[in-house]
Amino acid sequence: MKPIRIGYVVKRFPRLSETFIANEILELERLGAEVTVLALRSPDEVVEHGWLKSIRAEVVTWDRPSLSLAWEQLKDRSKRTPARREEIREAVVRAFDHPLRSGRRYLAEAVKIAQVTRDRGLQHLHAHFANHPAFVAMLTHLITGIPYSFTAHAKDIYATGPTPALWRQQVQDAAFAVTVSEANRAYLADILGPGLIDKLHCLYNGVDLKRIQRGSFRLDGRLRMLFVGRLIEKKGADILIDAVAQLHHRGLDCSCTLIGSGELEDALRDRARRLALGGIVHFESKLPHEEIIRRMQAADLFVLPCRVAANGDRDALPTVLLEAMATGLPCVSTPINGVPEIIEHGRTGVIVPENDPQALAAAIGSLFKDPLLRRQMGAAARSRAEERFDLRRNVAVLKSWLEHVAASPTVPKSDAEPQRALG
């Protein structure tokens, strides 16, 4: 059997905060798929994760494809059949009606991808994020007939996602669609309706349990907390700093390292200084993924106090929580979206209310006083990662769906969803 040839439509590649996409591509390649990355923009940051060098996929990137050239190519293609001319017309109408007013550029990008698809003999397009990449994949499908699918995550659902009408159109035209939590799927059920929701599958992001090993448990009377994430509103780093201040002022021997960067970094540093946490709270940014895993293995507790941002943005299934659990760290977070699907409250970690530094401090303080419970939670966290968030098992499910579409025009049945299959 020849390997399936897949085009991955993404906005940029690689990205520091999107290791889940790179991991997915790497695992698909390990399973025998041939992947071409179709990046709609050039990288805007330096990404130094060492394991990225193992990815064989060619990355095709263009920033501003020529609209005039794309239009000429469309006219040339439209000469083939009346049916193709109608497909082109529909693509143009949808592009220019796009609510972000980026239809012209998106159309040019779709024509460019159509050309790459033909030249490389790609059999399927899979887009990550339901906004820009999925829309361009849909346009390419309308132009060429190549099947496509997409994965929806968080911001593209709750803050910058498609309009309800476009959501329905993208799912209707797709061979299938994926989202990363059951909470996301439940949220989208009202938008999609009973007919289309069956095409949207829940498939958890996975972590490479071969590469991420458990750390060692220490008992020296000090609690080392770790936060990893972008320093933006929805991650709740300010809540963590306030909770650490309460713990420090109670005399608990603790420290907290925040790894990440973002628009709130200066404000968060100022907050820590004002709370006299200069020797307690430490900031680091843009570390290679391998170093982040080493920091997790050396920590005692992982804390991510997620919240719903003012614009509605929120986390869906934070990969850093999955990675922390894989290293055997107990985790403290909030009941936002898919977090309760990750953390079993009282068994693998603790869930506290969002925007509540007092509750967060109380939970951390309780775990500080009970190292045996932390040890038990860490062991259970690793077991849960193995049971539910194994990259190799979950990507194998995705590959089976992609191969099913390549072999048949029908759509994978919803009962093939990995969480139902895996329990």
Pick from 323, 312, 343, 319: which is nearest to 352 by CA? 343
Query: What Cα–Cα distance (Å) separates residue 250 from each residue in 64, 162, 303, 367?
Result: 56, 47, 19, 15
Q: Rounded to the nearest 5 degrees, what angle is found at the Cα of 362, between the Cα atoms of 357 and 363?
A: 100
Question: Which of 98-107, 181-190, 200-209, 378-387 has the least mean pLDDT?
Answer: 98-107
Q: Could you tell me what percent of the chain has a pLDDT over 70?
A: 86
Min mean pLDDT across 97-101, 105-109, 346-350, 352-356 is at 97-101
Query: What is the overall mean pLDDT for the chain?
Result: 89
Strand pairing class (254-259; 223-228):
parallel
Taking alpha carbons only, the member of 220, 157, 359, 123 closest to residue 345 is 359
pLDDT at 88 over 80: no
Core vs surface per residue 349-361: b (16+ CB within 10 A) or e: bbbbebebbebbb
What's the predicted TM-score (pTM) here?
0.88
Sheet of 301-304, strand order: 281-284, 254-259, 223-228, 301-304, 331-333, 349-351
Predicted pLDDT of residue 62: 78
Residue 190: the pLDDT is: 94
Structure confidence by residue, pLDDT tens digits, 279-308: 999 999 888 999 999 999 999 999 999 999
Other beta carbons within 10 Å of 73: 17
pLDDT one-digit tens code per residue, 383-396: 999 999 999 999 99
90 phi/psi in degrees, rounded to 5:
-65, -40
Q: Give the domains, in start order, of the chain with CATH numbers.
A: 5-206+391-422 (3.40.50.2000), 223-388 (3.40.50.2000)
pLDDT tens digit sequence for 7-37: 999 999 888 788 899 999 999 999 999 999 9
pLDDT of residue 94: 58
